[in-house]
Structure 1
Amino acid sequence: MKTITLFLCLIAFFHQSSLAQTKQEIEGAWLFEEGDIQHTLVLVDSYLSYSTFDIKNKKFINTWGGPYKIQADKLIISVEFNANDSSDVQSEHIFNIKISGNKLFAKIGSKEQTWKKTDDNNNPLSGVWRITSRKVEGKMNEMPLRDRRTLKILTGNRFQWIAINIKTGEFSGTGGGTYTFVDDTYTEHIKFFSRDNQRVGASLAFKGKLVNGQWQHSGLSSKGEPIYEIWSKMYLKK
């Protein structure tokens, strides 16, 4: 009986180790290209966003995502936002996946896709962030967590912001691309923007620093308006 129990414990241990390894391997940013159409996957702090855009014509196509988990060779996503289909929110998507080195093989429907990893989450800003306070007319206003929220998802060098309502499925906008964080300067290089494709190709620089786990963020918005915001991590690392 002791031998059987030990054997079962070892199976459970190696299964959990395998899942943890897969989780570690999949986190970061991935790219899949079809001509001028770019597909990006960003996965950090058990949260995923899948975005599609036409890089040549500066046209945003879609983005969707939410919390995810790994079970064996399955990637399971609980959808919290979908720019093109609000009825998809609160549904679940399941995909077969396989990781080999810096390649991710994902069968979405009947179509096999090969993704290339473009970065790991090796940046102090890597995580899923939300605005917790903002300065308005010289006064800091607290912003409690509600169904309607603005998130910023950062991997090692990719960023995406989304303004969503996880209950109603309302989608207010998104933008994304690559970023750098050097000498307290955070700079975004915009690759897609749902509200105005003329923003694509622009770079925006902000002053930023991490203080006690909070991201202090200041500068000018894409509309040229002054901002001062404090962002906090939405999820703890798992």
Structure 2
Amino acid sequence: MRAILILFLVLFSNSIFAQSLNGAWEKVTNSESQQRTIKLYSDSYFTSSTILKDSGEFISASGGTYFMNDYDYIENLEIHSESAAITGSFFNYNYEIKGDSLNIKDKNSNTIEKWTRIDNADNENVTCWKIHQAFRDSNWITIEDGPRKTLKLLTNNYYQVLALNSRTGQFFGSSGGQWELKDNKHYEFIHFFSKNQKMVGDTLSFEKVVKENIWTHNGKSSKGDYIQERWKRFK
């Protein structure tokens, strides 16, 4: 009986892991498409970006919360760079995950999207972070929780920054690409930047410390200014 219970728990835990979206997924397109869409997932938040493959030119970005059970995959959109009007909208899909493949079908339009996993998220510090404090004029300034926020979602190798107002649907900007931690430094390799196309291909580096759910980093911003920031776990 004990052996059967252990086997059940192993199978159950494997089933839960198999259904996890945590990580990075790329939308499957035809070979002629010039666009690339990547979606990043933490436990309950997602961000998405669409760019031109060759140049990294920014096309669109979105983000919001999501929920899934055995039958439904539901997104609650907080932001979409192309339409403030759809902020707060819910989108309901059927879905199927097989290995590293994900198919989602819109229940209203019956449109089917196919995605393939390109990265995982198996580290406790790989999640969605929200800007919490910034060091300015010799003081730490706390950025209060509210609809206006800047988020950074990380998977094992990919990241996306998203600045938004979830009440008004105002989009302030997005950037993203790949990252790595080397010699205690956090490096970000920029693949796209909605505010400054010239930053594509550049690398930013930060000193990084994560302690008690607070990520503290310092280094140069995309504008070249020295910054010190604290981020806290968001979703």
TMscore range, shorter length: 0.7 to 0.9
Aligned to 2:26: 31
The one-letter code sitting in structure 2 at the alignment partner of 1:116 is T
Q: What stretches of structure 1 of length at least 5 have no aligned partner?
A: 1-13
CA–CA separation in structure 2 for the residues paired with 1:214 and 1:126:
13
Deviations 1:145-186 (A, max 9, x none): 111111111111111111100101111000011111233211
Residue 24 of structure 1, CA deviation: 4.5
Task: Note if contact 1:147-1:167 (Cα within 8 Å) is conserved in structure 2.
Answer: yes
CA–CA separation in structure 2 for the residues paired with 1:209 and 1:150:
19
Aligned to 2:74: 76
Distance 1:23 1:234, change over 3 A: farther
Distance 1:41 1:224, change over 3 A: same
CA–CA separation in structure 1 for the residues paired with 2:196 and 2:21:
31
CA–CA separation in structure 1 for the residues paired with 2:24 and 2:200:
20
Deviations 1:110-130 (A, max 9, x none): 443332111111234311111
Select between 30-39 and 67-76 the one with higher mean Cα deviation.
Answer: 30-39
Residues 34-49 of structure 1 mapped to structure 2, 5 A cutoff: 34=29, 35-49=33-47
Residues 19-168 of structure 1 mapped to structure 2, 5 A cutoff: 21=16, 24-34=19-29, 35-108=33-106, 109-168=109-168
Residue 51 of structure 1, CA deviation: 1.6
Residues 219-234 of structure 1 mapped to structure 2, 5 A cutoff: 219-234=219-234
Residue 64 of structure 1, CA deviation: 1.4
TM-score, length basis structure 2: 0.87
Residue 134 of structure 1, CA deviation: 0.7
The one-letter code sitting in structure 1 at the alignment partner of 2:214 is Q
Aligned to 2:213: 213
- What is the aligned length? 221
CA–CA separation in structure 2 for the residues paired with 1:97 and 1:192:
29
Q: What stretches of structure 2 of length at least 5 have no aligned partner?
A: 1-8
The one-letter code sitting in structure 2 at the alignment partner of 1:191 is H
Distance 1:22 1:72, change over 3 A: farther
CA–CA separation in structure 1 for the residues paired with 2:28 and 2:151:
25
CA–CA separation in structure 2 for the residues paired with 1:51 and 1:183:
29
Distance 1:23 1:168, change over 3 A: farther
Aligned to 1:6: none
CA–CA separation in structure 2 for the residues paired with 1:231 and 1:102:
30
Aligned to 1:180: 180
Residue 89 of structure 1, CA deviation: 0.3
Task: Note if contact 1:148-1:166 (Cα within 8 Å) is conserved in structure 2.
Answer: yes
CA–CA separation in structure 2 for the residues paired with 1:128 and 1:39:
19
Aligned to 2:6: none
Residue 228 of structure 1, CA deviation: 0.2
Deviations 1:192-234 (A, max 9, x none): 1111111111111111111222111100001100000011101
CA–CA separation in structure 2 for the residues paired with 1:188 and 1:63:
18
